[in-house]
Amino acid sequence: MRLRERFIPWLLLAPALAVLAVLFGTSIVYGVAQSLGYLTFIGQRTLTFAAYERILIGPSPIATEFWSSLGFSLWVSAASTLLAAAGALGVAVVATGRREAGPTGIFLLHLNLAVPHLVWAIALSLFLAQSGLLARIAAALGWIATPADFPVLVRDRYGVGIILDYVTKEIPFLTLILLAILRSQPRTYNVIAENLGATAWQRLRYVTFPLVRPGLLAGSLLVFAFIFGAYEVPAILGVRFPRTVAALALDFFLNPDLQQRAEGMAISVIMAMVVVVVAVGGYWLNERQTR
């Protein structure tokens, strides 16, 4: 009886799992095989770690570029995720606080969820570029001499434009998750805490935050993994050096020298492993704190 109970959830999930396993499983296996040098279309069938060596250690300029790309990607993903999470928490708390947000408020907040990331990136570039709308308005108002004097916010070396894009897109997304959690909690917790003399900050830290932490963590991990592997926004709002790891991997994959696909796949595999490590680390952190 108990065995069957344990099996039933898996059976119910089986169709979805089968699709995922076949599509993603085969891609992952092919990706790993190609990263190990198994490139059948040029007749190469030996397995070797040469691609990994060239990227991680090799004396070639590829190695230095890989590490700087990895650092840049981690910086952009971490900064965007943390800022988006903090922003979402703030917005969610205000939206469920004393002056509660009505349905129109929530609708406006979530309006840009419907805008694709690519379109949002182009919009930001049109607004914030040095020949963009804000630059021309500022020059017309006399705040700066020419539009070219506008501060560099997109296509800059620190990824400010990319971070801005992701923060503005992910705050509504994470707020959605947090609101769902906060609204399902009874209000009495906050009222009791306030009665007992807790300040707003203490309420946030000791009452609200522990309630939303699991959801916030899951959402943040999603956002981190998404940003870490994204290509189109850094392609539009980023610079040629340093590039994100996704752009680097694609560059290798599309290289006319077909040998370089092994390097492209190796970078993709490393990206997947980084995300897995971060996810495991996040869950471990969560487990440790709730024990």
Partner 1 sequence: MFYRTLRPFFLLFIGAILAACAATPNPNPAETSSATTDTLVAGDPASFTTAEWESVLDAARGQTVNWYIWGGSETINAFVDTFYGQPLQEQYGITLKRVPLNDTVDAVNQVLSEKEAGQDPGQVDLIWINGENFASLKQADMLYSGWTRALPNSALVDWDNPAVNLDFGEPTADMESPWSSAQFQFIYDSARMDAETLPRSYADLKTWACENPGRFTYIAPGPGAFQGTRFVKGALFELSGGAEQWLNFDQTLWEQWSPPLWTYFNEIKPCLWRAGETYPKDENELHSLFANQEVDFSITQAIAGAGPLIEQGLVPETARAFVFDDYMIGDFNYVAIPKNAPNKAAALVLANLILDPTLQAAQILPQNGFGLGFGIDVTKATDPEAQTALENAAAQLGDSATPAADLASSLVGDSAAPYQALVEEGWRANVLVQP
Answer for which of 101, 235, 272, 279 binds partner 1 (CB under 8 A) is 235
Answer for which of 241, 276, 277, 280 binds partner 1 (CB under 8 A) is 241
Using the contact rule CB under 8 A, the part of the chain among 6-14, 211-219, 223-231, 271-279 near partner 1 is: 6-14
Q: Smallest distance, Å, CB 38 to partner 1?
A: 9
Using the contact rule CB under 8 A, the part of the chain among 38-46, 79-87, 112-120, 204-212 near partner 1 is: 38-46
11 vs 16: CA distance, rounded Å: 10
- Say whether 279 sits in a helix, a strand or coil: helix
Residue 94 sits at the vertex; the CA angle it makes with 180 and 90, to the nearest 5 degrees, is 85
Rule CB under 8 A: say whether 157 interacts with partner 1.
Answer: yes
- Cα dihedral 176, 273, 27, 73 sign: positive
| DSSP 8-state symbol, 207 | I
Per-residue tokens: 72: 């840049």
Residues that contact partner 1, how many (by CB under 8 A):
32
User: Of 24 and 107, which CB lies nearer to partner 1 in the complex structure?
Assistant: 24
Using the contact rule CB under 8 A, the part of the chain among 110-118, 172-180, 205-213, 232-240 near partner 1 is: 232-240
Alpha helices, DSSP H, located in the chain:
2-20, 26-35, 50-56, 61-95, 103-109, 117-128, 133-141, 160-184, 188-195, 200-203, 209-229, 232-237, 245-253, 261-290
Q: Smallest distance, Å, CB 145 to partner 1?
A: 13
Nearest to 129 by CA among 236, 255, 267, 12: 236
**Interaction with partner 1 in 244-283: which residues (CB under 8 A)?**
251, 254-258
Rule CB under 8 A: say whether 131 interacts with partner 1.
Answer: yes
User: Of 6 and 98, which CB lies nearer to partner 1 in the complex structure?
Assistant: 6
Nearest to 249 by CA among 265, 228, 270: 265
Rule CB under 8 A: say whether 41 interacts with partner 1.
Answer: yes
Query: For binding to partner 1 (CB under 8 A), which residues are involved?
Result: 6-7, 10, 21, 25-26, 29-30, 33, 40-42, 61, 65, 129-131, 148, 152, 155-157, 235, 239-241, 251, 254-258
